[in-house]
Amino acid sequence: MQKVCVVGLGYIGLPTASLLATKGFEVLGVDIRSQVVDTINQGKIHIYEPDLDILVKAAVQSGNLKASLCSKESDVFILAVPTPFIEENKAPDLSYVEAATRSICASLKAGDLVILESTSPVGTTEKIAQWISEERTDLVLPGRLSESHRENQIYIAHCPERVLPGNILKELVENDRVVGGIDRPSSEKAFEFYSSFVSGEIFSTFSRTAEMAKLTENTFRDINIAFANELSMISDELEIDVWELIRLANRHPRVNILNPGPGVGGHCIAVDPWFIVNAAPKTALLTKKAREVNDSKPEWVIQKVLNHADKMKTRTIGCLGLSFKANIDDLRESPSLAIVESLAERTDYQLMVVEPHIHSCPEILSGKKNVEFSDLQSAIQKSDIVLLLVDHDEFKEIDPKVFEERILIDTRGAFA
Ligand code: SAJ
């Protein structure tokens, strides 16, 4: 049985590790957080993703998935750790990838395959080779663009994850994949590995192209959302209903405008374009502008709320949703959370906050005296303004009649 070690048990690593375990691999999941390791070893999960609880339970019960703080000898090592950017200068922070790489070095042997799944700036896979060579002078590393297998070599490839939070388990298997080896033999090895559990098509290339392909996908989406967000602000100025506008424009056979929202959140689309801007600052002008447009949207929403509230006597605002998008519990880089936090700090309005996907008020808001974590019904009943920030399914079922007596600021077009 092939042994796989997955380093980083977050939104990508844990689903991948448990999927591989149920496909017959012997999997060791590694994480630096002992609480996460303990939770998984009990067959439980620390993050929410539809059906992940069932998969992890089955994987642990089968004996094929174990979690640990340290790696051990395996045939394949998958790195699925965060690649954030440094806030001040938007430069990539590769410290997690470097630490994860160095942590597996003692367990590596000739013939092993090391795969970087984390979305990474161009050149990161080559850096992994460099870090391994510093730790293990005895191993033969892939030669960049080398065509043939060499004796005692290890194999290194980038295979960017492409799964959509909320639909991860399906997309892990069904999405097409790009595998980019640091040399041709590494691409071949990675191709063979993914072929054993992916039903989508697999495309081989070199690591730098694979890295750029992933950044390109998320940047494409960011730029298109930026256009939708810009349209929503223009339409507001020109007194046009942006949702109707987009619906109509999208009837053209070659137009497909995305949805405006309160801003772009999550740990991917709001981050990855910066890796391109950082690598080519003089050239990536459109990419940078799109980031700026999307980053400016939360403040635009706040100003909308202030404009309405200023004209009112009582100011109770029902803030519907905190997560970065619909039907998930993930608050990372969430524009909705940022908007509520800012309103709580800058105003004395009473904020009734509803987030059906989390059990208690996030720490960042819990200390604020004008914030009450509420159920949907009471929030609406008590509100003068309903600020819809996330289009969760629960919210779309609200009877629109309640908005006849209240102001609705619908940042997602859920009631358009
Ligand atoms: N959003 C809009 N309008 C839209 C679509 C999205 O405002 O029309 C907002 C969302 O509300 C959210 C943000 O953009 O705040 C990002 O959401 P998303 O659903 O577009 O993407 P993510 O971040 O959940 O996942 C993306 C996916 N990439 C692409 O669709 C190109 C996913 O396939 C990647 O695997 C993931 O990033 C990742 O891990 O990189």
One domain, residues 172 and 321 = no
Pocket test for ligand 1, best of 173, 268, 323 (most atoms within 8 A of CB): 268
One domain, residues 175 and 37 = yes
Domain stops at, among 171, 205, 239:
205
CATH number at residue 21: 3.40.50.720
How far, in Å, from the CA of 219 to the mean position of ligand 1?
Answer: 10
Give residue 314's pLDDT.
75
Give residue 141's pLDDT.
81
Taking alpha carbons only, the member of 353, 359, 360, 357 closest to residue 380 is: 353
List, for residues 54-68, the tens digit of each pLDDT value: 999 999 999 999 999
One domain, residues 55 and 185 = yes
- Whether 256 maps to a domain, the answer reads no
- Whether 189 maps to a domain, the answer reads yes
Q: Is the pLDDT of residue 337 over 70?
A: yes
More confident residue, 359 or 319: 319
List, for residues 309-318, the tens digit of each pLDDT value: 988 877 899 9
Q: H or E element: which one contains 30?
A: strand 26-30
**For ligand 1, what atom is nearest to the CA of residue 269?**
23
Confidence of residue 145 (pLDDT cuts 50, 70, 90): low
- Whether 299 maps to a domain, the answer reads no
One domain, residues 62 and 189 = yes
Give residue 312's pLDDT.
85
In the chain, the number of structural domains is 2
Q: Is the CB of 414 under 6 A from ligand 1?
A: no
- Whether 79 maps to a domain, the answer reads yes
More confident residue, 49 or 289: 289
List, for residues 246-262, the tens digit of each pLDDT value: 999 999 999 999 999 99
Containing domain of residue 12, as a range?
Answer: 3-205
One domain, residues 186 and 332 = no
Q: Is the pLDDT of residue 48 over 90?
A: no
Confidence of residue 151 (pLDDT cuts 50, 70, 90): confident
Q: Is the CB of 384 under 6 A from ligand 1?
A: no
Domain stops at, among 205, 235, 263:
205
- Whether 300 maps to a domain, the answer reads no
Q: Is the pLDDT of residue 49 over 80?
A: yes
List, for residues 188-246, the tens digit of each pLDDT value: 999 999 999 999 999 999 999 999 999 999 999 999 999 999 999 999 999 999 999 99
Give residue 157's pLDDT.
98
- Whether 31 maps to a domain, the answer reads yes
How far, in Å, from the CA of 406 to the mean position of ligand 1?
Answer: 31
Confidence of residue 140 (pLDDT cuts 50, 70, 90): confident
The residues near 113 (Cβ < 8 Å, ≥ 6 apart) are 75, 76, 77, 154, 155, 156, 157, 186, 189, 190, 193
Q: Is the pLDDT of residue 150 over 90?
A: no
Query: Exposure of 259 by Cβ count < 10 A (0-12 exposed, 13-18 middle, 19+ buried)?
Result: middle
**Which residues are known to be catalytic?**
214, 268
Alpha carbons 99 and 263: distance in angstroms, whole number: 32
Give residue 144's pLDDT.
66
The residues near 315 (Cβ < 8 Å, ≥ 6 apart) are 309, 347, 348, 349, 350, 384, 385
Q: Is the CB of 266 under 6 A from ligand 1?
A: yes
List, for residues 379-392, the tens digit of each pLDDT value: 999 999 999 999 99
Domain stops at, among 183, 205, 227:
205
Give residue 283's pLDDT.
98
Give residue 395's pLDDT.
97
Mean pLDDT of 10-18: 96
- Whether 247 maps to a domain, the answer reads no
Predicted TM-score of the model (pTM): 0.94
List, for residues 58-111, the tens digit of each pLDDT value: 999 999 999 999 999 999 999 999 999 998 999 999 999 999 999 999 999 999
